[in-house]
Amino acid sequence: MSQQQSTLYVELGDRRYPIHIGENLLTSRGLLAGLIKSRQVVVITNETIAPLYLDIVLGQLPDSILVTPVIIPDGEQYKTWQTLGEIFDQVLVARHNRSTTFVALGGGVVGDITGFAAACYQRGVNFIQIPTTLLAQVDSSVGGKTAVNHSLGKNMIGAFYQPTAVVIDTGTLSTLGAREYAAGLAEVVKYGLIYDAEFHAWICANRSQLVARDGDTLRYAIQRSCEIKAEVVAADERESGLRAILNLGHTFGHAIETYMGYGSWLHGEAVAAGMVMAVRLSALRGSVDAELVVELEQLLVDLGLPVWAPTEMRSETFIDLMALDKKAIDGQMRFVLLGALGAALVVDDVTEAELVALID
């Protein structure tokens, strides 16, 4: 491998797996073929990604194996029970057995639904993540959270199921739309806030290079984000403790997504506005300086992200929607706040009065 490629590992014992990061990995000789051990492969992608990268991926696979491409519609609104059922129909018609490998080629929606399909197909088959959006590369492709949405809540049906490998080709970001790209940067910002003040400072200093999609800047941002995520997931795979800090801004963000209907706001956009709310709540509680809220808003605006929830969403709307959120335990809402810049903590003692003060 050249110097522009790197590999890090998610340390999960006998389910340890590599994350390969680099430009043009999709055409890197033998990489994909070497990762697939089976004689059958299902490649799941969407209508937007298929014309761009499907043939490239198929071209890397030996002719001798059975390959079934499954193309789903593009968008969070298709991350559903019904789409999942249609995937199973196609895979069963093509007669894949339980030694097959599922490959997710696309963004977070493709990765989440493919991972869940792999977890359930014949009670579990191997799968490989090839994330093609920044959000998927720095967040959803790593860590084994898979799911589909339900009209009553996001990611309500799913599984913890780890891939056997993640292949991040940073070259795929060149075709990513501006909104989707910015949405991915929201998660990059999150890692600095919750875990690494130095990384946060680096992001602030390099915001214009990030917006310009400078290759080296981007590679470092992705690598550091994946390192942090891998470390947190290795420490707490099933989110019984530490892993919850990855949800900074997500409790508010999920409420925004549910309220607006999936697909209206991008996940990363909702998380951006949600992070501002969480950091502002942290400041109201005195654990971080109010100046950090202002700085964060400016950073997110510079990166092309929203910093306010829709104005028609009042505190009672948030409270109602958040009560159903998976992070609510026995009716008690939990929030990820900042104890300090670079150090998140989970609290369950936020009062409704505080939420009213924050939102209304």
75: left (phi over 0), alpha (psi -120 to 50) or beta: left
Please pick, among 207, 224, 243, 327, the residue that the annotation labels catalytic. Answer: 243
Integer angstrom CA distances of residue 200 from 189, 194, 288, 340, 343: 7, 9, 14, 12, 11
Sign of torsion, CA 139 171 266 110?
negative
- Interacting residues of 98 by C-beta distance below 8 A, sequence separation 6+: 121, 122, 123, 124, 125
Catalytic residue status for 231:
no
Question: Is the distance from CB of 219 to CB of 1 less than 8 angstroms?
Answer: no
Please pick, among 79, 254, 327, 334, the residue that the annotation labels catalytic. Answer: 254
- Interacting residues of 184 by C-beta distance below 8 A, sequence separation 6+: 133, 134, 135, 136, 137, 138, 139, 176, 268
Catalytic residue status for 267:
yes
DSSP structure class, residue 76: G
User: Shortest Cβ distance from residue 124 to a second copy (Å)?
Assistant: 7
Please pick, among 187, 257, 269, 297, the residue that the annotation labels catalytic. Answer: 187
**Which tokens is 92 given?**
């069963």
When the beta carbons of 98 and 179 are compared against a second copy, the nearer one is: 98
Given the rule CB under 8 A, which of 4-12, 86-94, 164-172, 270-278 is the region that contacts a second copy?
86-94
Looking at residues 277 to 306 of the shown chain, list those that interact with a second copy (rule: CB under 8 A).
none
* Binding flag, residue 62, a second copy (CB under 8 A): no
CA dihedral (255, 261, 264, 270) in degrees, to 10, reads 10
User: Shortest Cβ distance from residue 62 to a second copy (Å)?
Assistant: 14
* Binding flag, residue 324, a second copy (CB under 8 A): yes
Please pick, among 229, 280, 327, 334, the residue that the annotation labels catalytic. Answer: 229
Given the rule CB under 8 A, which of 44-52, 183-191, 320-328, 351-359 is the region that contacts a second copy?
320-328
Given the rule CB under 8 A, which of 55-63, 172-180, 214-222, 321-329 is the region that contacts a second copy?
321-329
Residues that bind a second copy (CB under 8 A): 38-40, 81, 85, 88-89, 92-93, 95, 97-99, 116, 119-124, 145-147, 150, 152-153, 155-160, 238, 323-324, 326, 328-331
The residues that are catalytic are: 123, 145, 187, 229, 239, 243, 247, 250, 254, 267
